[in-house]
């Protein structure tokens, strides 16, 4: 149980294009999903908290217009990196919290983004 | 502001050599301390949640303990497949920088 998937697992794109990453909770419903970014040999950096049916809450320093988050259902959240640039290249990881009430987050396998 | 500090940054053990990883934290109202394992290029894998001082949880060769200021992840007789980065987190949103564990055969 508590499986979270991400798609795609890796993506290469040209500078200026937009990339959409999907995060799905496969066997539970998640009212809250989180998006993280991780640079090599560094820990997770929270980007935003995604709540089903409402606007996402972004951490300080994260551009809302650059990283668009949509949480349209209890099992799906999407992160769109708009007008991607090489500095956006990173490992993006989502997590989901079971709405059953416990605090534990379950993480997806991550998406490696490379912007050329 | 919640803070999490993990030590050591890196640890190399021989197979079978038991040791402990440390996670020191400061938080305004603990809503759980979480341990995760992360393999290179993958998302973190949930290991344990601890909620109150004195609580202990075990899973195979791993045992997590919690006090009011820190948590330990004890690894008993580790195997090479235990090699990974171990992350702890508090309040769901604050992660430590991790301990990179390497177990040599």
Rounded CA gap, A42 and B29, in Å? 26
Q: What is the pLDDT of residues A18-56, one digit of tens each?
A: 999 999 999 888 888 999 999 888 888 999 999 888 889
Query: A21: which 2 tokens?
Result: 């990453």
Chain B residues in contact with A95 by the CB 8 A cut-off are: 43-44
Instruction: Tell me if A95 sits within 8 A of A108, measured CB to CB.
Output: yes
Task: Determine, for residues A43 and B95 on separate chains, whether the beta-carbon distance falls below 8 Å.
Answer: yes
**What is the rounded distance in angstroms from the CA atom of residue B77 to the CA atom of residue A81?**
44
Mutate to test the interface with B, among A43, A102, A104 (most CBs of B within 10 A): A43
The answer to whether the CB of B60 falls within 8 A of the CB of B78 is no
Closest-CA residue of B relative to A4 is B43
Q: For B83-98, what is each residue's pLDDT tens digit? A: 999 999 987 678 999 9
Which residues are registered as beta bridge partners of B88?
B35
pLDDT band with cut points at 50, 70 and 90 for residue A2: confident
3-class SS string, A45-79:
EEEEEEECCCCCEECCCCCCCCEEEEEEECCEEEE
pLDDT at residue A108 is higher than 90: yes
């Amino acid at each position: 149980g508590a499986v979270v998937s991400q798609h795609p697992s890796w993506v290469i794109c040209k500078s200026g294009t937009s990339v959409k990453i999907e995060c799905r909770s496969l066997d539970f419903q998640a009212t809250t999903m989180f998006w993280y970014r991780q640079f090599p040999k560094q820990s997770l950096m929270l980007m935003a908290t995604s709540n089903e049916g409402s606007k996402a809450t972004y951490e300080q320093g994260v551009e809302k217009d650059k990283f668009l988050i949509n949480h349209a259902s209890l099992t799906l959240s999407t992160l769109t990196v708009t007008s991607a640039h090489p500095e956006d290249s990173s490992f993006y990881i989502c997590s989901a919290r079971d709405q059953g009430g416990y605090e534990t987050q379950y993480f997806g396998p991550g998406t490696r983004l490379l912007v050329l | 502001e919640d803070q999490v500090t993990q030590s050591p940054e890196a640890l190399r053990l021989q197979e079978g050599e038991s040791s402990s990883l440390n996670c020191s934290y400061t938080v305004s109202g603990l809503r759980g301390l979480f341990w995760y394992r992360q393999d290179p290029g993958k998302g973190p894998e949930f290991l344990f949640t601890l909620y109150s001082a004195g609580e202990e949880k075990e899973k195979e060769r791993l045992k997590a303990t919690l006090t009011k200021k820190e948590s330990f992840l004890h690894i008993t007789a580790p195997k090479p497949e235990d090699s990974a980065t171990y992350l702890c987190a508090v309040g769901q949103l604050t992660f430590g920088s991790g301990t990179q564990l390497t177990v040599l055969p």
